Amino acid sequence: MFEGDTSAIHYQPMCTELRAVVPKSFVRAAVAACLLSGGASATAEQLHIEPGLWEVTYTYSLQGEPPAAVLAQLAPEKRAAVEKAWASRVGRSKTNTSKSCVTPDEIANGTAFENENHPPVRGCERSYATQTASRWTMVEQCSNEAGISERNVQINAGGPHTVDGTMNAVHGEGAAASGLDMAFRAKWLAKECGNVK
């Protein structure tokens, strides 16, 4: 997803697009949360979806201002580039489609649509309100060196071959808050993934 980053999620077109305007830690945590990273609890049901090749279409938009704490760490020219790119995309929806290979282990572990399992983000706590075969809802609240953030996620399995979901992530507070809103829809294509990972 990001060069040298630990969060290699299959949504590479979106992540490449956002890399220039959204802090890595914010996107990594937001998208990972949206895609069920962190795994299932011992009492959770796994989503009732088929392993195999999936096509995922997602729409996202940025809200607010880039996080001030992140901007403060950037060199002046990089900061100006990030501010300009962010401003050109705020409030505008962008849609991308990609393919993802989902394995039985990823479904069982609650990490479908991720390349690998990741340790929980330091300073973050997740709570799952619902973990059934057809719906997962999760809230993640973080307070760490990247600042304060909260993510609200809902994932729905409309049957073994369709999934949709929403995610709202907010970084910071008040007028200085920035956000990422995302909705996605996925459909199962085939049992075999071919060369798609």
Mean pLDDT to the nearest integer, 45-67: 90
Which of 1-10, 36-45, 96-105 is the most confident on average?
Answer: 96-105
Please state, in angstroms and rounded to a whole number, the distance separating the CA atoms of residues 158 and 192: 21
What pLDDT was estimated at residue 104?
92
The runs of H, that is alpha helices, within 35-187 are 68-71, 76-89, 104-109
Chain-centre distance for alpha carbon 82: 20
pLDDT 10s digits, 13-35: 333 334 444 444 444 444 444 44
Q: Residue 113: what pLDDT?
A: 67
CA angle 101-181-58, nearest 5°? 30
* pLDDT tens readout for residues 62-90: 888 887 777 888 999 999 998 898 888 88
